[in-house]
């Protein structure tokens, strides 16, 4: 089998895995395909928590013993982290399959290759790392969750070439085109929670739902980060607090907020998380812990500038999506996407690793895990929410 053929069949398995996009938390997305000759004869993926391992479903769908020299393609190695090691291994070995191709190893380093090694010991030929980057990237949230025992905090920004998110007048719709904005909807569907700051909730009145053509509007958890509950005032009250999805909204505030506003929100059916804070700012480590306690394995922050900058300042941002449009404002008073740091050497810059690029018409997406320098000097008074 040629490398091109192997990648083609693994893409079939990836397609099966992606059918569970945003629906398998806290389990990973996994897909598989069984190939006989040059033909995929059975395929399956995990599409909900608690669903059977794809190996089991594939063999059930086939309805017979696999032919001699059949090939099984799996996006994720059977292993302890995905809670399918024994059942998957037994199913493969008992079926008589002798050739298995694996995309990504088990997400936890100390578990990596255990499933592959067990198959080899049973006489199965195993080839690893077929489309490994795509297979690992598929489970961005799960991989972070099982390795860090914490939710992935990611942020999205849409900027001009010169790093601006709005004109000096505040006009910002739309910087990127329709294709890029639809990709944002796709990522919204993956993350179980979306977060914005009080300023964005008030000024933009966003819905924070995923709206994809051909699918029902979907709403996960919607966080509004508002240390003083400005957004609960009559003149500001956003539709997040009154629409049909308001019971999915959680306002994250501090013990400095007014109890009257808290009662008002709760009366409207909005949830309120109160965090103890030394100042008026929501402590992100406490938010992260609270998310972990309730099983939220990822939050997709959509700004604004103040919120994303503070996440960077406090080193609480783990991943970043930057959509960049082919336009320039060239205006010092246009609104920048990030602020608050004083960086005098390039070695002190915040960076990205494991970077991936995509193009949507004229717009570009760069995304990756954030790396922080040894030290950052920041004006502590810059941020409040």
| Model pLDDT for residues 258-267, shown as the tens digit of each residue | 899 999 999 9
Same domain assignment for residues 169 and 89: no
Q: Does 121 share its domain with 210?
A: no
So what's the pLDDT on residue 258?
85
The full length of the chain comes to 385
> Residue 118: which domain range?
3-139
Contacts 24+ apart (CB under 8 A), 145-152: 145/26, 145/297, 145/298, 146/81, 146/107, 146/108, 147/107, 147/108, 147/109, 149/292, 150/288, 150/292, 151/288, 151/291, 151/292, 151/296, 151/297, 151/298, 151/299, 152/297, 152/298, 152/299, 152/318, 152/319
Q: Considering the domain boundaries, does residue 145 fall inside one?
A: no
pLDDT per residue as tens digits for the range 143-176 = 999 999 999 999 999 999 988 988 988 878 889 9
Final residue of a domain: which of 85, 112, 139?
Answer: 139
CATH of the domain at 112: 3.40.140.10
384 part of a folded domain:
no
* Domain harbouring 216, CATH code: 3.40.430.10
Structural domain contains residue 275: yes
Q: Does residue 334 or residue 10 have the better pLDDT? A: 10
Say what the pLDDT of residue 378 is: 45
Whether residues 33 and 161 share a domain: the answer is no
Residue 380 — pLDDT band, cuts 50, 70, 90? Answer: very low
Task: Please state the rounded mean pLDDT for residues 221-229.
Answer: 95
pLDDT computed for residue 375 by the predictor: 61
Residue 121 has pLDDT above 80, yes or no: yes
> Would you say 281 and 306 are in contact if contact means Cβ atoms under 8 Å apart?
no
Residues 97 and 214 in one domain: no
Pairing of strands 193-197, 298-301: parallel
Domain for residue 206, yes or no? yes
Q: Is the pLDDT of residue 66 over 90?
A: yes
| 259 and 342 housed in the same domain | yes
Q: What is the pLDDT of residues 275-324, one digit of tens each?
A: 999 888 999 999 999 999 999 999 999 977 889 999 999 999 999 999 99
pLDDT over 70 at 385, yes or no: no
Across residues 348-358, what is the average pLDDT? 94
Residues 111 and 159 in one domain: no
Q: 144 in a domain, yes or no? A: no
383 domain-assigned: no
Q: Are residues 227 and 346 in the same domain?
A: yes
Rounded to an integer, what distance in angstroms lies between the CA atom of residue 71 and that of residue 13? 12
Q: Mean pLDDT lowest for which of 89-93, 137-141, 192-196, 304-308?
A: 304-308
345 shares its domain with 373? yes
pTM score: 0.92
Q: Is the pLDDT of residue 379 over 50?
A: no
72 closest CA partner among 110, 116, 112: 116
217 and 258 inside one domain: yes
Q: How many CB atoms lie within 10 A of CB 381?
A: 8
Per-residue pLDDT, 382? 42
The structural domain count of the chain equals 2
Q: Say yes or no to pLDDT of 383 above 70.
A: no
Mean pLDDT of the chain: 92
Last residue of a domain, one of 110, 139, 168: 139
Query: DSSP secondary-structure letter at 232?
Result: G
């Amino acid at each position: 089998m040629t490398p091109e053929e192997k990648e083609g069949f693994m893409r079939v398995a990836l397609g099966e895995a992606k059918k569970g996009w945003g629906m398998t938390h806290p389990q990973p997305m996994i897909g598989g395909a069984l190939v006989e000759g040059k033909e995929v004869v059975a395929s399956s993926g995990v599409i909900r928590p608690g669903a059977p391992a794809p190996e089991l479903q594939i063999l059930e769908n086939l309805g017979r013993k696999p032919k001699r020299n059949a090939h099984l393609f799996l996006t994720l190695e059977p292993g302890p982290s995905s809670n399918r090691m024994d059942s998957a291994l037994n199913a493969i070995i008992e079926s008589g399959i002798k050739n298995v191709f694996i995309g990504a190893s088990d997400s936890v380093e100390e578990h990596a290759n255990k499933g592959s090694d067990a198959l080899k010991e049973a006489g199965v030929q195993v080839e690893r790392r077929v489309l490994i980057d795509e297979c690992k990237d598929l489970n961005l949230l799960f991989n972070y969750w099982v390795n860090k025992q914490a939710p992935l905090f990611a942020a999205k920004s849409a900027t001009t070439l010169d790093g601006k998110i709005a004109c000096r007048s505040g006009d910002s719709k739309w910087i990127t085109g329709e294709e890029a904005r639809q990709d944002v909807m796709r990522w919204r569907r993956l993350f179980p929670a979306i977060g914005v700051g009080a300023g964005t909730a008030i000024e933009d009145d966003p819905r924070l739902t995923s709206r994809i053509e051909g699918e029902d509007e979907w709403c996960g958890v919607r966080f509004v980060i508002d240390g003083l509950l400005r957004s609960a005032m009559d003149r500001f009250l956003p539709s997040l607090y009154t629409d049909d999805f308001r019971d999915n909204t959680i306002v994250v505030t501090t013990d400095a907020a007014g109890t009257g506003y808290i009662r008002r929100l709760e009366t409207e059916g909005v949830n309120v998380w109160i965090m103890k804070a030394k100042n008026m700012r929501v402590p992100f480590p406490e938010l992260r812990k609270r998310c972990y306690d309730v099983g939220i394995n990822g939050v997709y922050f959509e700004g604004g500038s103040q919120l994303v900058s503070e996440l960077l300042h406090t080193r609480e941002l783990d991943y970043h999506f930057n959509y960049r449009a082919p336009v320039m404002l060239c205006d010092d008073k246009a609104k920048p996407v990030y602020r608050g740091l004083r960086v005098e050497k390039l070695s002190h810059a915040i960076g990205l690793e494991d970077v991936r690029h995509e193009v949507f018409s004229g717009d570009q997406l760069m995304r990756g895990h954030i790396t922080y320098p040894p030290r950052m000097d920041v004006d502590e008074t810059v941020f409040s929410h």
